[in-house]
Chains A and B, each alone.
Chain A
Amino acid sequence: MSSPTTLEPPVPTGGSRGPSGHRVTGGLLDPKQLLIALPDAARKLDPRVMVRNPVMFVVEVGAVLTTLSAIKDPSVFAWVITVWLWLTVVFANLAEAVAEGRGKAQAETLRKTKTDTVARRLGDWKPGAAAPREEEVPAASLSLGDHVVVEAGQIIPGDGDVVEGVASVDESAITGESAPVIRESGGDRSAVTGGTKVLSDRIVVRITSKPGETFIDRMIALVEGAARQKTPNEIALNILLASLTIVFLLAVVTLQPFAVFAGAEQTIVVLVALVVALIPTTIGALLSAIGIAGMDRLVQRNVLAMSGRAVEAAGDVNTLLLDKTGTITLGNREAAEFLPVGDVSVAELADAAQLSSLSDETPEGRSIVVLAKERYGLRARAEGELPHAEFVPFTAQTRMSGVDLDEDGDRRSLRKGAATAVMQWIRNNGGHPTQEVGPMVDSIAASGGTPLVVGEVVQRGGESTATVLGVINLKDVVKAGMRERFDELRRMGIKTVMITGDNPLTAKAIADEAGVDDFLAEATPEDKMALIKKEQEGGKLVAMTGDGTNDAPALAQADVGVAMNTGTSAAKEAGNMVDLDSNPTKLIEIVEIGKQLLITRGALTTFSIANDVAKYFAIIPAMFTSVYPGLDKLNIMGLHSPTSAISSAIIFNALIIVALIPLALRGVRYRPSTASQLLSRNIWVYGLGGLALPFAGIKLIDLIIQFIPGLR
């Protein structure tokens, strides 16, 4: 599955879906990554970089202050606090660097595909023109609208559309999928990506992107995080965190005059320690790592989000538009049952259907053979097995397939195919389809199936009898587990709408079977667009997938538009995500990843604020028991000494960041359920957990560090 230049394939471990629910996970954190990221983390100490994160910037300023103070009045306590404050900042940077590091590794493999390709530019290519002028230029000098020719073994020099020819292309460089794909001029499979390799044949490509702005360039920028901008929710959260930081800064700065009045003036070291303990450092440190890791989790699933905004919007989606074919149903219809007419037995019909389908190579035809075998034990006969048989293959013109058998001078012809075609064939041979056939055909169509009729013409002597043997019901097969997924989505408050070109009757039948909330039948691109606009007018966010050029306007209109990588460049341009696997079902996973990203932020914010309670109980008595001995009653953890208490709080504060890096990168556990259930769970784990954990953690650290001589 992977070739040397692939992205990491989707991680099956941990991402597996058990029957009892599932969870979206990311890769695991390798301790080695922490070491690799250290230099980057140190580089981020630059105040010009730090200032973008107000919470951690305050910590850094505090660390500078305590350093100066520790140099002036050295003590073990001052140095312990100083060192741990610096570590707090480094740990925060480490979280971000690790998150970015994962993207960088992926970008590196992508960059390898950007070799200096030579392009064979065609001077004045016109459709059908013979032997245009050809020149060799570096790929970097191609401009929009140029035509290039690419032959087997060559690398496509830039993004574009195939305008002539058909070729198999190895796209493993971007998709990680080594099976070649077919690219041909016209239609929805015409887009090619620069850096991919033509394996066979010759194509002419019209370049649709400028050098430096190709798909691979954008991918590199995205996975590296270079193009990363803060998302709306992240900005809102940052504002809240900044204002909490200011409140706590004020609370501590104004504490000094109160303390002086009480006769317990505090040192700079203690005041800084109190500020750092109170401001929401945990979430402040992990916030950007959470965002980067969220994008990264998408990349691991081979989805490229063009912006973090799109990932967040995915979490907010109210309505999912899902294409029927390929998303809800398997790509092809399959034979589901044989319905005999008159005296014909089911076994006879199955036999006739199988015989007449042996030469039908379409998936539908093969499914008939399989059904006859599986349900009626009829072994599929090879063509050579029937000596006197003459096979009539399926064509789009006749819309029938069949076989002519010579048995002792009698000639028996079997045909299977579209109802109208076979009935016409029967009539042409002098037969009359019985009364019951028509209603059978209609009822199958009404139930969402496709009726195929099996007919027989027997010529015995000069006489020929033509009869209809029965009808085959070809049905759309809903993918396994779809109903459960849709139920889950409904619990999450997301409405699913199936989009199909089928007639309303058929569409309704499939919609009912799959359990979607609504459907849009006989959908044209205009209908799709109108539906999206209608939903959006009601304040809803809409997500959809699409691949064709005619999907492009709808993809652009949707709040989350996932373009299939196999689609046209217009579609990829219009959407705000590209699924490299071209698997429309992934839309559901994308929504879950979006939600998980927000939940992780909320959970860690709650955790971070809840932590403060314990820190107060450690630090406040430590500061003031000397003047107000009664305050020692607040020392409910029974910490050893004032200095050990403050140090323990600061050390806990730093270590909790490192401890939570894996959680930030992986995202918190997410189970699709109603908002109430989700909230209850997260309050229990992160709210009450955040309240209780530091009491234990600080006490534990205190038990250890009380043995440091200077802290007694």
Chain B
Amino acid sequence: MIMDRSLSRRPIPLPVQRQAEAKQPLVIIVDDDASVQEALSELMLSAGFEAVSFSSTQALLETDALDWPGCLILDVRMPGSSGLDLQRHLTTTGNPKPIIFLTGHGDIPMTVQAMKAGAVDFLTKPVRDQTLLDAVNAAIGLDAARRAEAAKIKGYVERLQTLTPREREIMHEVTRGRLNKQIAFDLGISEVTVKLHRGNLMRKMEVASIGELIRAWEALPVRMRETNAA
């Protein structure tokens, strides 16, 4: 899904020639004030992060920057759609990009709203460099973990596609904790055949144990689990 979307966007012009390298974390800065943009970019660069800045959320959405791993530093108050609007948009489209809010003067309701919607931090300008960098680090870590998880699930899904219908059926029965002979009886096949299938599917799913198989099953999206059950 993410890949599909990136096709329609133009690649971001990064200042450093590292696009080809696999998914270095990218800090995206959105602020309507050009001097603030520059200062924050400078700070990120000095701290060793890749950074790209936009003056509005619209400019950001026109590029594929959001597909990159990394985090967002958003100004709350901007002309056009605000930082909070962008957060809402990302949530509804299912993009789990971590967000750090930065504002001139925020109030408590604004902060609560942002944090509830899953913001990593809510900072006020001017901000101490360490505070901001800590938040950026945390956000990048969070993003990396989310991405790893997503990759794992994706692997499970891909491997599930290789299973025969009978193997999926048996996999479902196994994850429900049923015994081989119960499965054999239910399906009207011999226990030996069940074991054979079970061995095949374990190998195909690249799991070493039943516990691992169950975790893989649980990690699968609900939709897929239901279709296999049927």
Same complex:
no
